[in-house]
Amino acid sequence: MNESITYDRLMRTAGTPGRREVVRRILGMIRNGQLPSQGTFPSERKLSDMLNLSRPSLRLALKALIELEILYKLPGSNRWYIEVPPSLLNPKPSTIALITSTHEQHLHMSREEIGGRYHLSLHQAVTGYLQNGSRHILTLLYRELDSVSADWLDQIGVNGLIVLNFNELKDDHSLILECHNRGIPVVVEGNDGWCRSFDRVYHDHEAGAKMLVHWLYERGCRKIMRVCWGSDEVYWRQMRHAGYLRALKELGLAPLPVVRIDMGRPEDLEADPSKRVQKLAEVLEPVLSEYLRGENAVDAIMADTDSHIYPIQCLARKLGRCPGEDIWFAGYDAFAPWAPEAQNRKDLLPHVSIDKQNELIGIGLCQLLEKRLSGFSGETQVMTTAPRLVSYLDV
């Protein structure tokens, strides 16, 4: 028995995506104890029944096991025997490509941005889990990759892909599709419509929005309005709006129009915090003023994320409102633990927020990939993480 046979080599020997999938299923059944790893192996007929696969298709896939001398027949015998090397019995992959929006060192450099903090925490959760499993991790920046990069990933023996911030790939996700078509397991973070053929993990934004509305209602808020940076094209805004509407219906309240703020690209904003707030105020005032005073005045605002709250609070104070008394603010992402500058600045925080539990999202991505690599060949796997309400009233 060749002890040096690796999972990568076995997959390369199998060749086509279809044959790889069959070999992966057989290996998974061996790891799970459904098939033996040593000694007598089932006949082609029995194995094809177990796999619900035609015998010609099975024979093509078994060629990889035969070529590597894992599966063989003794002279003068028609019975199959198998000897699986220990290197193939470990279900944990050896090499994982982590495709993300930004390299970790750049995430640290931009940690003052709420998006940077979210990406960093998710990235750290995934790498921490994988490193504990003694696996090699390739962190790749997806804007530097294209469909041709799939050849390179295949050649170096990447076992699986974990893709973070997949909703940002909607303009060009050819690499992900190509790897998926080649039989490389892919797990993504997100739930946009066009990525639902992949195993994926995402946060339950609908439940989070419902929790926020109920919290605001308990503080006497009846006119609750959403303020969004951008359109509702992304899945998480759609889910939050559904949660907002459902909660209002449960409470017997009427929904208000969603106010959309066009801030342009994030990189166009001033780096200096004071100048940034000034720029935000210039954009916000003509759009939000009518909802902060007069007959249309609201008593609660729900923003996309915590970092959007401060400039809105500044505008509210300027127009005579008193946050925490006659108007309440709900954010999202619970970014205070990542932001040292917010520890002693209560005015930088919303009154309430939602922790998406990024660590659980990262761990979930790794677990779904491990299950797929252990031989699971069932339907698309989907996992959601529950929201955790965070109140900053006592900060």
Taking every pair of Cα atoms in the chain, the longest distance, rounded to a whole number of angstroms, is 95
Matching fold, domains 7-88 and 205-355: no
Rounded CA-CA distance 228/130 in Å is 35
The pLDDT tens digits of the residues spanning 198-221 come to 999 999 999 999 999 999 999 999
Mean pLDDT along residues 252-266 = 82
Rounded CA-CA distance 56/79 in Å is 18
Res 116: pLDDT: 55
Mean pLDDT along residues 228-249 = 91
pLDDT over 80 at 166, yes or no? no
Domain residue ranges of the chain, discontinuous segments joined by +: 7-88, 95-203+359-387, 205-355
Strand 80-83 to strand 71-73: parallel, antiparallel, or no bridges (unpaired)?
antiparallel
**What is the fold, at CATH topology level, of the domain defined by 7-88?**
Arc Repressor Mutant, subunit A (1.10.10)
Using the structure block, give the residue that is written with the tokens 């509702």.
232
Q: Please give the helix or strand (H or E) that residue 314 lies within, else none.
A: helix 309-318
Give the list of residues 6+ apart from residue 245 with CB closer than 8 angstroms, or none.
Answer: 255
The pLDDT tens digits of the residues spanning 326-364 come to 999 999 988 764 444 545 566 678 999 999 999 999 999
Q: Which residue has the higher pLDDT, 18 or 364?
A: 364
Q: What CATH class has 95-203+359-387?
A: alpha beta
**What is the fold, at CATH topology level, of the domain defined by 205-355?**
Rossmann fold (3.40.50)
